[in-house]
């Protein structure tokens, strides 16, 4: 059986079961509400989606930060525990990476996303905190490391093992959930069926899919996903890279096709989305003349944490020729999208105002 939401992609959208990466095209979001349907939600896989059976699946919690030996949880057992439901975006740390090159002329390595490595969903599951307490968490615990059941990740001939990344115990006990539903349906295979981690506000790699075990350690844990990847490397950063990345930044994007042709003299409604990990979006400004003048956009969602905000602005294109559209988000803490994103060799956290080309005809 195919998990819900996968079998009916909108025309023109690429979706995978078992495949590697698929990006959501922003224009397709204009047909959706605040939540991203699973059929349009981007997929980021280091290897391929495993097809797991919830009856064979179990979660093992183990390590020196527990009172006793390993504790196992079945799918039905998790389902019978008290649940929470929470809206949160999941966004890849590399979202927007290709714009380092196309907009800033800088070289970066990694999956060449434009702005579509993000989606917002309603996640239902159990609090990681509740599972850790049931497993016998002690005050000696320092780090909590979920690990996926997908294949070992092999890169450049080197086997880095299964995808895993430590969370400080404070974050694990705060707002992290072990999710088994996405938008009211069981998780689709590509998004971590039967159970994934959801770490609100943090970069996507923290939200480990197909979780099979969680190490709870009384000493700090490391994995390639917090040492070799997901730090800022390059000039201006420490030799071993920055501290491991945690929170996402502030961004916005138009739902218009890239290089769209728009007729002169016809009023147009520009729509888009804005999001910030630090605080709800307070305002979005739009420029239709390459950044010379800015006008406030109308916001269509009440300020909310961890979701995104739809916005719109009216524009009547005047003279024929190329034009550049920009949107700039501001959040309630006063964070504003910068003109340039800080370069780093792996192209993480592209937060600059996007220069969106169109042609007026
Ligand atoms: N979890 C496992 N087990 N394997 C993976 O390859 N990719 C991570 C994260 N969790 C990954 C994973 C990355 S880099 C991102 S951005 C998110 O999952 C993407 O979640 P999605 O595919 O549901 O959109
Ligand atoms: Mo990612």
Question: Which residues have CB under 6 Å of ligand 1?
Answer: 41-46, 90, 92, 148, 150, 163, 191, 204-205, 207-210
Is the torsion defined by CA of 61, 226, 229, 155 positive or negative? negative
Residue 305 pLDDT: 86
Ligand nearest to the CA of 347: 2
C-alpha 153/C-alpha 150 separation (Å) is 9
- The predicted-structure confidence for 290-330, as pLDDT tens digits, reads as follows 999 999 999 999 888 889 999 999 999 999 999 999 999 99
Name the closest ligand to CA 44.
Answer: 1
pTM for this entry: 0.95
Same topology between domain 26-227 and domain 250-360: no
Residue 4: per-residue pLDDT: 38
Dist. CA 102 → ligand 2 center (Å): 20
Which of 21, 45, 118, 182 to mutate to test ligand 1, by most ligand atoms within 8 A of the CB atom?
45
Output the CATH code of domain 26-227: 3.90.420.10
Tell me the pLDDT tens digit for each residue of 221-265: 999 999 999 999 999 999 989 999 999 999 999 999 999 999 999
> Among 17-31, 93-107, 268-282, which is the least confidently predicted range?
17-31
Probe target for ligand 1 pocket from 204, 223, 224, with the most ligand atoms within 8 Å of CB: 204
- Residue with structure tokens 């404070």? 170
Looking at every residue in the chain, the average pLDDT score rounds to: 94
pLDDT exceeds 60 at position 2: no
CA distance 347 to 268: 33
Closest ligand 1 atom to residue 47 Cα is: 6
What pLDDT is stored for residue 39 in this prediction?
A: 87
Burial (Cβ within 10 Å: 0-12, 13-18, ≥19) of residue 125: buried
Burial class (CB within 10 angstroms; exposed 0-12, middle 13-18, buried 19+) of 53: exposed
Report which of residues 3 and 217 the model is more confident about. 217
Q: What token pair was written down for 127?
A: 């609090």
Residues near ion ligand 2 (CB < 5 Å) are: 44, 92, 204-205
pLDDT at residue 31 in the model: 87
Topology of the domain covering 250-360 = Immunoglobulin-like (2.60.40)
Residue 141 has pLDDT above 50, yes or no: yes
Q: Which atom of ligand 1 is nearest to the CA of 153?
A: 6
Percent of the chain with pLDDT over 90: 90
Q: Which of 76, 287, 26 is nearest to 195 (CA)?
A: 76
From the list 233, 22, 252, 231, the residue with the least C-alpha distance to 115 is 252
CB 268 within 8 A of CB 324: no
Pocket test for ligand 1, best of 205, 210, 230 (most atoms within 8 A of CB): 205
CA–CA distance, 59 with 144 (Å, rounded to integer): 14
Sorted by where each begins, the domain ranges of the chain are 26-227, 250-360
Nearest CA to ligand 1 atom 11: 45
pLDDT of residue 9: 42
Protein residue with least CA distance to atom 9, ligand 1: 205
pLDDT at 114: 92
Could you read off the pLDDT of 144-188 as tens digits, one per residue?
A: 999 999 999 999 999 999 999 999 999 999 999 999 999 999 999
Q: Which ipTM score applies to this complex?
A: 1.00
Q: How far is the CA of 45 from the centre of ligand 1 (A)?
A: 5
Tens of pLDDT, residue by residue over 33-80, are 999 999 899 999 999 999 999 999 999 999 999 999 899 999 999 999
Q: pLDDT at position 347, please?
A: 98
- Long-range contacts of range 54-60, CB-CB < 8 Å, 24 or more positions apart? 54/193, 54/194, 57/149, 57/194, 57/195, 57/212, 59/131, 59/178, 59/195, 59/211, 59/212, 59/213, 59/214, 60/212, 60/213, 60/214
Q: Specify burial of residue 32 (Cβ count, 10 A radius: 0-12, 13-18, 19+).
A: middle
């Amino acid at each position: 059986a195919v998990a819900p939401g996968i079998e009916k992609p909108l025309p023109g959208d690429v979706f995978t079961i078992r495949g590697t990466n698929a990006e959501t095209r922003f224009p397709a979001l204009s047909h959706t509400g605040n939540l991203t349907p699973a059929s349009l939600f981007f997929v980021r896989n280091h290897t391929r989606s495993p097809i797991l059976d919830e009856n064979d699946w179990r979660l093992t919690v183990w390590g020196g930060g527990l009172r006793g030996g390993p504790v196992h949880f079945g799918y039905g057992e998790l389902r019978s525990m008290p649940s929470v439901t929470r809206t949160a975006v999941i966004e890849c740390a590399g979202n927007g990476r290709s714009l380092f090159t196309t907009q800033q002329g800088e070289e970066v390595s990694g999956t060449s996303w434009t702005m579509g490595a993000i989606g917002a969903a309603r996640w239902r599951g159990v609090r990681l905190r509740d599972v850790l307490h049931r497993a016998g968490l002690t005050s000696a615990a320092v780090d909590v490391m979920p690990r996926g059941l997908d294949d070992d990740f092999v890169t450049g001939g080197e086997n880095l093992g299964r995808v895993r990344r430590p969370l400080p115990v404070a974050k694990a006990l705060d707002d992290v959930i072990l999710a088994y539903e996405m938008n009211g349906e069981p998780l689709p295979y590509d998004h971590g069926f039967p159970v994934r981690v959801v770490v609100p506000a943090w970069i996507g790699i923290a939200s480990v899919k197909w979780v099979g075990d969680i190490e709870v350690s009384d000493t700090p844990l490391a994995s390639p996903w917090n040492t070799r990847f997901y730090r800022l490397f390059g000039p201006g950063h420490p030799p071993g890279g920055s501290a491991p990345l945690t929170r996402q930044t502030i961004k916005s994007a138009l739902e218009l096709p890239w290089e769209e042709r728009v007729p002169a003299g016809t009023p147009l409604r520009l729509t888009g989305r804005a999001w910030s990990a630090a605080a709800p979006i307070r305002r979005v400004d739009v420029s239709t003349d390459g950044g010379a003048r800015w006008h406030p956009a109308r916001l269509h969602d009440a300020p909310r944490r961890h979701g995104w905000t739809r916005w719109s602005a009216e524009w009547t294109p005047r003279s024929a020729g190329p034009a550049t559209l920009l949107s700039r988000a501001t959040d309630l803490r006063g964070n504003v999208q910068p003109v340039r994103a800080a370069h780093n060799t792996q192209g993480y956290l592209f937060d600059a105002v996007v220069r969106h080309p169109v042609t007026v005809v």
